[in-house]
Structure 1
Amino acid sequence: MDYLSGGGLATTRISDLAMSPPQNGTMLCAPLVAESVEEMLHQIKAAKASGADVVELRVDYINSFQPRVDLPRLIEGRVLPVIITYRPNWEGGLYEGDEAARVAALSLAIELQADFIDVELQVAEDFIASQSSKRSSSSTRIIVSNHNYHTTPSSEEIGRLVARMQATGADIIKFVTTANNVVDSANVFRVLAHTQLSLKVPTIALVMGQKGLISRLLSPKFGGFLTFGTLSSGKESAPGQPTLTDLVRTYRLREMDCDTRVYGIIGNPVGHSKGPYLHNPAFEAIGYNAVYLPFLVDNLAEFLSVYSAPDFGGFSVTIPFKEDALKCCDEVESSAKAIGAVNTIIRRADGKFVGYNTDCEAAISAIEDGVRESGYHGSQPLSGKLCVVIGAGGAGKALAFGAKHRGARVVIANRNFERAKVLAESVGAEAISLETLSSFQPENGMILANSTSVGMQPNVQDTPIPKAALKGYSVVFDAVYTPLETRLLREAKESGAVVVSGLEMFIRQAIGQFELFTGQPAPKSVMREIVAKMAP
């Protein structure tokens, strides 16, 4: 089937396309946006030290750029292969001058034997035709590029665009779109896989924005010619670029191939998640060919329907999708069904999605250890204790269910009192409004468990309960782990309570998820060592 014409590609799932790795591996490219030649030469060396294979020199960022003076210095002084990009403002760059002068600078870069030059599709056909005599004596490869700063077109539209780019005589084609939805990257993956499988055209295909981050991280899996990583945060040449350090160390793009299985965390927001920094090294520790990514999702059902290929093996689920996941799974494990929330989805070999909950045991066991630390020496730390759970969402359900199952008397406090009542009735608990919690002190020695995102970065000064109301609690748990010590935990400690960080719940539920993902024992000591380094 010709996926680049007709209706084939647009209606084809990723699972229907064979994937092949790039012949020589996907290169890691650092885009350099320095304002002087000296700084750009310095950054080339820094990029090499950080693991880049190639650098893109955005010469439109250089103040008072003089091509005949500056290009020889940049090209002769390079310690890595370079892409010369002189991006005009009509294609999202900074250059606003005469077009003939810009084109002349790119022609000069060919004469000077630049490794690559980037030419925009709008001018590529005429430019390449004008360079025929120079190209015969030059090793420079021409990248023909197109950038869509508004949206990601359909696979069919991208396919037609690729055909136009290829017809210019390009050595390499590059198309970049913008993500309005995490599923937009699927259109790009389909076309990228096809260009490698059928057209054999070296292709750079990326999606800008946080919702398009996965296109950059999975580029080697689908055969991308290169992907971009910045020297550091704040040095991006386009929205959503990760750092070289994350590409090399966290996501291990050097080791990725077409057989790499994909896992990740589904949430909104999701950028704060420490999951990639824990699961990826754990995969490496047991020699498991997999990568764990952040998925910034708007609609869970849509996400699962699009990323349903066998290589997408499973997902962690966080706010606000733990209850939605219950409905989206084909099957749900009994305890997750009883809790009413799923935090782990596994794609089984038969293609069905199965839901689990590893939050419950992780949180409850962490709280039980906190009770033991406060002086309890029996075998049932929660039995008979009054446990106040803040929040009635997925994590709140897990906490309430788990505490009740361990013999605690449970009270649910929630901003929406009706939701608190529904949860309380389902687990045999009491419901109170969040406002009432400020004066709720029926006894001493109570346990408080916050399951909401209140106090999470960047709103670190927020707390779900005033400090004055913490006096009756002997143990306080906060599911938030960014920051490690929330305002709630800090004030609880000052009030004399034993505090339990969400990071402890995080490591325990992650161990459970890892074993569901891989079917193998988790490298617990490695994972705990990683978590210890996360702490400030």
Structure 2
Amino acid sequence: MKDPTLVCASLVAPSPEDMAREMGIAADHGADLVELRLDSLASFNPRPHLHFLLKHRPLPVIVTFRPKWEGGEYEGDENWRLDALRLAMEFGADYVDIELQAAQEFVESISVKKPENFKLIVSSHNYQTTPSIEELGNLVSRIQAVGADIVKIATSPVDISDVTRMFKMLAHCQEEQQVPMIGMVMGERGLVSRLLCPKFGGYLTFCSLNIGKESAPGQPTITDLMNLYRIKQIRTDTMVLGLIGKPVGHSKSPLLHNAALNSVGINAVYVPFLVDDLASFLKAFSYPDFAGFSVGIPHKVTAITCCDEVDPIAKCIGAVNTIVRRPSDGKLIGYNTDYVGAISAIEDGIRGLIGDHSIELPLDGRIFVVIGAGGAGKALAYGAKAKGARVVIANRTYAGAKALAESVGCDALLFTELESFNPEKGMVLANTTSVGMQPNVHDTPIAKSALGHYDLVFDAVYTPKETRLLREAKESGIPVVSGVEMFIRQAMKQFDLFTGLPAPEEMMRDFVMKNI
């Protein structure tokens, strides 16, 4: 059985004292080892500083002294740099990381002195692309041939589908029982290569202590790696779920879904996928264990054409926000849980407003103004129409509003016409655009002065919890329904679809209110 993947905290610090302090913090957070980035030290003096750092280290140590030509900070004499790495080995470093370009000379120089338990990592960094499988295989062979104890390859993605080539290389090295391999794809598109490292047999994965302290693009923090994604629990048979979107960094879905999965003891992890092209992503990530995806902006409409089958309700809406891989045949089935989450939340809001929680169709006959004609807009428009509302679509482009209005069978407006649109009192306003979402929290889709004609205002945005639109509606004395409520309800339905189990409603609702 393969040893567990190690968690390595990469330490970037201006002084040896700061670096020593951070070693202690990394140990407290559960790291297995630390990487000392000597090239980050302001005035590095090899003998005293290495002696200080290595003498009382609380964890095993990788010593790295990365030159500028390989993405690091060191720009000085090369011989002096290699002397410092040899000294680190002599002082008891557990690992030294040397670049492939400098490895031959370094390996020859330490061959006689190399301690028994010392391991040499030979690394290659590509900051432009991720090579083909064949090229990665050749690179692994070259690194092995030079005398590496551990192969390390870091690449850059043009598209998230490039990550699968690294997964395949890691799995191949493990199956062939070759030299252990560290393989990662850098940047936000490559984040999943770090999070899912244990599933594919990587020797270790790197993390930072805090945001802003990364030694390479795309490193997660140790807190996220250990607590949010629970990397120590990921195995080769762990089910992978995740959010497909662009952007995805703002989303709280990983927080909620991972907490829910853990609460019921399911062997699964939920990760963010920054996806440019949905079709190519689904083709590349076709592993059976990649069992389900939440679909976010801007892929909800495209997802209709990327699924093998689409639930009739999602097909009518024209948007999919949930994709499930059917275990029996691997086919992708599309659903829409935005519809359920948003409409049920708005209906309960109306029931509370009129003081009658028994009324079956609280939206019946009301004018329901939907701002936005994307995937969420389609879900709200379809849902409101099905509940008897008179739907109106407002969009930045009239063509977009008209296209959705014709498919639903309702009226269309330009975004700019909203402020003068006031045919009657008692309307419902539903924003389904990203206007007001972090970081643009000062934006709003409609002026405060135009809110007075509405009985209730809903905003699908849930980061922040209270958008400018909701705040100004409250200030105008208008009841509101937050996107947080829609988020909770659609997530519970997704959990049901992903796992086949009832969602832990009380736990999920409590978690969202405390953490999101």
CA 1:376/1:397 → structure 2, altered by over 3 Å: closer, same or farther?
farther
Residues of 2 paired with 1:110 and 1:128: CA distance?
A: 12
In 1, distance between residues paired with 2:215 and 2:90?
26
The 1-side partners of 2:505 and 2:474 are apart by 28
Aligned mates of 2:38, 2:438 — CA distance in 1: 36
Residue 46 (str. 1) matches residue 25 (str. 2): yes
Query: What is the correspondence of 1:261-276 to structure 2 with a 5 Å cutoff?
Result: 261-276=239-254
Match of 2:140 among 162, 165, 169: 162
Shift of 1:286: 1.2
Give the alignment of 1:237-256 within 5 angstroms.
Answer: 237-256=215-234
Q: Which AA in structure 2 matches 1:530?
A: F
Written as runs of structure 1 = structure 2, the 5 A alignment for 1:178-197 is: 178-197=156-175
Q: Is the 8 A contact 1:416 1:433 kept in 2?
A: yes
SS of the residue 1:411 aligns to: strand
Counterpart in 1 of 2:438?
457
Deviation at 1:510, TM superposition (A): 0.5
Report the alpha carbon displacement of residue 278 of structure 1 after superposing the two structures with TM: 0.6
Give per-residue Cα distances to partners, 1:311-350, cap 9 Å, x unaligned.
1101000111111000111100110011111100011120
The CA distance in 1 between the partners of 2:253 and 2:480, in whole Å, is 22
Q: What CA distance in whole angstroms lies between the structure 1 residues aligned with 2:80 and 2:248?
A: 44
Work out the CA distance in 2 between the residues paired with 1:50 and 1:486: 34
The yes-or-no answer on 1:475 pairing with 2:456 is yes
Task: Give the 3 Å change call, closer, same or farther, for CA 480–360 of structure 1 in structure 2.
Answer: same
Higher relative contact order (CA 8 A, sep 6+): 1
Between stretches 379-388 and 469-478, larger displacement belongs to 379-388
Runs of at least 5 residues in structure 2 that lack an aligned partner in the other structure: none
Rounded to whole Å, the distance in 1 between the matches of 2:408 and 2:197 is 46
1:5 maps to none
Tell me how far apart the structure 2 counterparts of residues 80 and 140 of structure 1 sit (CA, whole Å).
Answer: 14
Report the residue type matching 2:181 in the other structure. Answer: T
1:492 aligns with 2:470: no
Does the residue aligned with 1:374 lie in a helix, a strand or coil?
A: helix
Structure 1 segments, 4+ long, off by >4 Å, are none
1:364-443 to structure 2, matched below 5 A, reads 364-377=343-356, 378-443=359-424
SS in 1 for 2:405: helix
Q: Distance in 1 between matches of 2:405 and 2:102?
A: 65
TM-score normalised to the size of structure 2?
A: 0.98
State the Cα RMSD in Å.
1.0
Mapped partners of 1:74, 1:426: distance in 2: 67
**In structure 1, what is the equivalent of residue 493 of structure 2?**
512
2:260 corresponds to which of 269, 282, 290:
282
Which shifted more, 73-82 or 367-376?
367-376
Q: Is 1:79 the equivalent of 2:63? A: no
- Give the length in aligned residue pairs: 513
Distance in 2 of aligned mates of 1:432 and 1:60: 58
What amino acid does structure 2 have at the position aligned with 1:370? G
Contact 1:113 1:139 in 2 (8 A): no
**1:487 alignment partner AA:** R
CA distance in 2, matches of 1:309, 1:27: 24
Q: Identity, % of aligned pairs?
A: 60
Q: 2: CA distance between counterparts of 1:422 and 1:178?
A: 39
Shift of 1:138: 4.3
Once residues 319 and 427 of structure 2 are traced to their aligned partners in structure 1, the CA distance between those partners, rounded to angstroms, is 25
Q: Secondary structure at the match of 1:262?
A: strand
Code of the residue aligned with 1:48 in structure 2: it is A
SS of 1:457's equivalent in the other structure is coil
Instruction: Confirm or deny that 1:55 pairs with 2:11.
Output: no
Q: Which amino acid counterpart does residue 305 of structure 1 have in structure 2? A: K
- Checking the alignment, whether the CA contact within 8 Å between 1:117 and 1:141 is kept in structure 2 is yes
CA deviation digits over 1:354-395, x for unaligned, max 9? Answer: 100111011000001111222241332111111100011110
* Contact 1:111/1:138 (8 A) holds in 2: no
Give the distance between the partners of 2:180 and 2:396, measured in 1 at CA.
Answer: 54
C-alpha distance after superposition, 1:269-299 (max 9, x if no partner): 1111111001111111111111111111010
What SS does structure 1 have at the residue aligned with 2:302? helix
The answer for unaligned runs of 5 or more in structure 1 is 1-20
Return the alpha-carbon distance in structure 2 between the equivalents of residues 407 and 96 of structure 1: 69
Q: Which residue of 2 aligns with 1:26?
A: 5
> Counterpart in 1 of 2:333?
354
Identify the residue that residue 111 of structure 2 maps to in structure 1.
Answer: 132
How many angstroms apart in 1 are the aligned matches of 2:399 and 2:85? 65
The reply on whether 1:153 has 2:131 as its aligned counterpart is: yes
- 2:283 match: 305
Q: Distance in 1 between matches of 2:135 and 2:299?
A: 32
- Report the AA paired with residue 231 of structure 2: L
3-state SS in 1 of match to 2:51: helix
Q: By how many angstroms is 1:200 displaced?
A: 2.8
Q: Aligned partners of 2:134 and 2:495: how far apart in 1? A: 37
Which letter does structure 2 place at the counterpart of 1:113?
G
In 2, the alpha carbon distance for the partners of 1:282 and 1:301 equals: 28
| Cα distance between partner residues in 1 of 2:352 and 2:246 | 34
| Preserved CA contact (<8 Å) 1:214 1:295 | yes
| 2:303 matches 1:325 | yes
Whole-Å separation in 2 of the counterparts to 1:246 and 1:511? 23
Distance in 2 between the 1:245 and 1:485 partners? 27
Counterparts of 2:317 and 2:474, CA distance in 1: 30
Question: Match for residue 104 of structure 1?
Answer: 83
Instruction: Give, in whole Å, the separation in 2 of the partners of 1:274 and 1:28.
Output: 24
TM-score, length-normalised on structure 1? 0.94
Deviation string 1:167-222 (CA, Å, 9 cap, x unpaired) is: 01111110000122111111111111101111432111011100000000000100
Give, in whole Å, the separation in 2 of the partners of 1:457 and 1:492. 19
Any idea what SS the aligned residue of 2:158 has?
coil
Shift of 1:229: 1.3
1:222 to 200, 205, 212: 200
